[in-house]
Amino acid sequence: MTEQPSSSVDSPPEHRSTLAPWLLRLFQRDYHPESEIQRKHRQMIELIWTRSGMGERYFVTLQPAGVSFGHFIRTVTDLICRGAGEGWITVRLPSAPVFDDDAYQIDIDDPERFVAELEALFATEAASRERRRNRA
């Protein structure tokens, strides 16, 4: 007769990786990749608000310490998309593509909120960097 393996109570404890719980949490998160259309939409919004050097002007005006220009552009683009979703920014696109760039507009309906959100975004990032710097 073949011996049955002993129960887990009788066997020595298994060695568990400390990395395993972290990996489980990482892969159990909801992952929603951006579709091609969403990515293009975001790119179009970025092109509209940064045209004519507006992105550079905002960057120079705010002078966010320790923030690269590319990160600044992405962060403000995300803010504009959020504002459009919440209704305090209006994105106007023509129903069909046209050659006139002025047909593509972004209207900031609540400029005070936009400025406050910008300041809060980059103040939060500066505070986070400062905390990381102090820990090191």
d(CA 54, CA 67): 17
Return the domain boundaries, the chain: 36-135
pLDDT of res. 74: 95
User: Which residues is 90 bridged to in the sheet?
Assistant: 107
pLDDT of res. 20: 65
pLDDT digits (tens, 9 = 90+) for 6-60: 555 555 555 556 666 666 666 666 656 778 999 999 999 999 999 999 999 999 9
Model confidence band, residue 122 (pLDDT cutoffs 50, 70, 90): confident
More confident residue, 103 or 136: 103
pLDDT of res. 65: 84
pLDDT greater than 80 at residue 109: yes
Distances (CA, A) of 27 to 17, 23, 33, 109, 116: 16, 6, 14, 40, 35
d(CA 42, CA 74): 9
Tell me the mean pLDDT in the region 122-136: 67
Q: Is the pTM of this model over 0.75?
A: no
pLDDT digits (tens, 9 = 90+) for 50-105: 999 999 999 998 888 888 999 999 999 999 999 999 999 999 999 999 999 999 99
- Under DSSP, the state recorded for 20 is H
